[in-house]
Amino acid sequence: MKLLFIADIVGQPGRRAVKQLVPHLRQRHGLSLVVANGENAAGGSGITVNTAQEIFAAGVDIITSGDHLWDQKEVMGLLDGERRFVRPLNYPTGTPGQGSTLFQAPGQPPVAIMNLQGRTFMAALENPFHAALAEVERLRQTTRIIFIDFHAEATSEKVAMARMLDGRVSAIVGTHTHVQTADEQIFPGGTAFLCDGGFTGPHESVIGREIEPVVRRFMTNMPQKFEVAKGGVRLQGAVVEIDEQTGRATGIERVSESLEPSF
């Protein structure tokens, strides 16, 4: 089976890229499942029920999130019962929402999707390593096909997580930095890894935002309004091929698809 992971969708340009490109990618790769990180989908920060529904309607099966989870109050409408929406697993017990979910396409085995958030240079949530080990063992009672979106800043934290879980999960793709890395590989135990999938949205930008306000912030250290940029829209992420019997990855390919400009 083949799974497409779409890295951080940023604002309306990112949602437009998903809408226009996902149907072609499904056909080209013969995809069984599409997972997308949507934590920046609503105006470039956070996610709402309406933006999530737009992403689902575009062909995405499961949406993951990250440190901008709480930026839109409407997110509670997703956390309170949307089984296709996943927040970082390592929030404290009692936090609304779920840290993993199961998806099963017709004629396919179930796939577990998990979301984790790192702690290095980020908010201090519960330890993602301990949380991941316990949840992976629980999920493996149901399926050997497990995909993880690890939303983290530090490269070392992402690599360490993937090395720890090698052979226990099918794939780990990192998100959060919005810069696609060129280190896709399959570890000895059969776990596919990409340190960061990049982002889906306007690349004529500073990681999705208009260039000049970000430069002014660095030059002056004064507050600026960071609007979502518009140009150079791309869909980024990775396609992972997984053996349905063993849950081991047999291939991983970076994706970086341009969206033709609309006039």
The sign of the dihedral angle between the CA atoms of 141, 145, 150, 155 is positive
CA dihedral 218, 178, 121, 139 (to 10 degrees): 170
d(CA 118, CA 150): 7
d(CA 32, CA 3): 6
Residues 29, 68, 151, 176: which is the catalytic one? Answer: 68
d(CA 206, CA 235): 16
Name the one residue in this structure whose structure tokens are 């072609």. 24
Which has the closest alpha carbon to 27: 56, 59, 57, 54?
A: 59
Q: Which two tokens stand for residue 75?
A: 């997110």
Q: What angle do CA 84, 85, 87 make, to 5 degrees?
A: 145
- Annotation says 29 is catalytic: no
Helices of type H across the chain? 11-29, 49-57, 76-79, 128-139, 155-165, 211-220
d(CA 161, CA 10): 25
20: left (phi over 0), alpha (psi -120 to 50) or beta: alpha
Facing residues of 257 across strands?
Answer: 235
Residues taking part in catalysis: 68
